[in-house]
Amino acid sequence: MAGDPHCPAEPLAREGTLWEALRALLPHTKEDLKLDLGEKVERSMVTLLQRATELFYEGRRDECLQTSEVILDYSWEKLNTGTWRDIDKDWRRVYAIGCLLKALCLCQAPEDATTVATALRVCDMGLLLGTAILGDILLKVAAILQAHLPGKRPAQSSTLEQPCTKVDVENPDLEKFPEFAKAPFLSCILSPGEILFIPVQYWHYVRALDLSFSVSFWWS
């Protein structure tokens, strides 16, 4: 999903409009850029998120960037305290807002395409490990960043268009999604050393049976 990071000498495409396009996605005030987090998120983290938001809206880029790094480091540890289904969704929201703030801070004063590619990779991490926040703002930010990378344009199936199912595959709500009961499927168990190729636009669901490490790559 991210662009080529090895192009430090290339100028940005339509550089003058990048920040304006990103800023247009955001709420006008810091009060509107907030998440209603549950009690499982420590008060200290809520305070840190509020502080990072204040720094961003005050234009204190370097301090906001540093604070967002702290948010990401701490929430990353929380995301790795158990299986994915056991992690409280609010911690994925914390991780996503940390990625959003970091990506935006990087793009406030981009020096070259490498900076934007780095911000795009940050968005990718938020999309992979976080969850939807603020009307899927990370998807929208990623699409804008892709469009501003030189020589790289979103493919026909761009990040903005990549769908995510709202169905809990293992415990589906058939009243809300009645057609899901009719969906055909194939299932398999991968053993160590095996690989599974999933064709483009094929819906898929994965669950680890024990400790594992997964890598996703989107071919353009």
Distance CA 146, CA 119 (A): 10
Tell me if 97 sits within 8 A of 35, measured CB to CB: yes
pLDDT recorded at residue 9: 36
- Looking at residue 15, its pLDDT comes to 45
> What residue ranges do the domains of the chain occupy?
18-148
| Most confident listed range (22-26, 87-91, 102-106, 162-166) | 102-106
CATH fold of 18-148 reads: 1.25.40
**What pLDDT, in 10s, does the model give residues 30-88?**
887 777 888 889 999 999 999 999 999 998 999 999 999 999 999 999 888 877 777 88
Return d(Cα 190, Cα 202) in angstroms, integer.
18
* Alpha-carbon separation of residue 142 from 86, 125, 154 (angstroms): 28, 11, 10
pTM surpassing 0.95?
A: no
